[in-house]
């Protein structure tokens, strides 16, 4: 078999495998407690790939990261769930109380939702890239998001493109949805982290 074709198939298999591990470990964690540790484990593995470490067995590495950050990732998850609940309640309240007084509140709410979505692009990459407390991670991720609008724009374009491809082929979403999202955001977030680091060095 052609070596380039073999490598392509190998990486396709890796992305499908890690996506299935993400789903499996989310389920065995009871979904609610399993989702965030499985997500950070997936991001940690993909960060290792991007940094040239792709020799370790996937299952072993995934389990190591899953155990290591189980409670810390769930503390971060509690914050994210709280914000999502706040947004959901606000949307429900506004939609059930339609009047001219409340209509204007859609603007700041949608602006907040947009910023929160951009923030989510960076929080998981920052989680696995920095050894910080949850509060520090939230603060740093937000600041990195603010100073890297171009990276955020590229992430949006890439994710929208993937969405339409997977909409045409729904099976791809099951096989690669999570892992492709993690790869795109991790890859571009690492670039954003490097930009911030270079700016800090330049200011010294």
What is d(CA 178, CA 159) in angstroms, rounded to the nearest whole number?
Answer: 11
What is d(CA 108, CA 90) in angstroms, rounded to the nearest whole number?
Answer: 11
- Identify which has the larger pLDDT, 198 or 144: 144
What is the structure's pLDDT at 5?
A: 82
What is the structure's pLDDT at 53?
A: 87
Q: Decide if pLDDT at 102 tops 70.
A: no
What is the structure's pLDDT at 199?
A: 78
- Identify which has the larger pLDDT, 98 or 188: 188
Instruction: For the chain, count helices (H), then strands (E).
Output: 9, 0
Residues 97 and 128: beta-carbon distance below 8 Å = no
Nearest CA among 43, 70, 45 for reference residue 57: 45
What is d(CA 102, CA 104) in angstroms, rounded to the nearest whole number?
Answer: 6
Could you give the residue ranges of the DSSP H alpha helices within 29-69?
35-50, 58-68
The number of beta carbons lying within 10 Å of the beta carbon of residue 48 is 16
Nearest CA among 83, 103, 108 for reference residue 93: 103
What is the structure's pLDDT at 42?
A: 98
């Amino acid at each position: 078999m052609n070596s380039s074709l073999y490598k392509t198939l190998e990486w396709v298999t890796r992305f499908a495998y890690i996506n299935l591990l993400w789903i499996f470990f989310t389920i065995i964690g009871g979904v609610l407690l399993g989702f965030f540790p499985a997500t950070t484990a997936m991001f940690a593995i993909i960060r290792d790939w991007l940094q040239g470490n792709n020799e370790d067995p996937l299952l072993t590495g995934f389990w190591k990261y899953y155990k290591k950050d189980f409670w810390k990732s769930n503390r971060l998850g509690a914050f994210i769930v709280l914000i999502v609940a706040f947004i959901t309640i606000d949307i429900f309240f506004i939609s059930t109380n339609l009047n001219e007084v409340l209509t204007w509140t859609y603007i700041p709410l949608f602006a907040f939702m947009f910023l929160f979505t951009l923030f989510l692009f960076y929080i998981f990459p920052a989680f696995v890239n920095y050894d910080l407390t949850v509060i520090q991670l939230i603060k740093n991720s937000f600041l990195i998001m603010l100073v890297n609008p171009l990276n955020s724009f590229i992430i949006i374009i890439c994710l929208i493109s993937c969405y339409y491809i997977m909409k045409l082929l729904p099976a791809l979403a099951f096989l690669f949805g999570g892992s492709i999202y993690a790869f795109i955001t991790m890859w571009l977030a690492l670039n954003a982290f490097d930009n911030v680091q270079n700016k800090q060095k330049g200011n010294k």
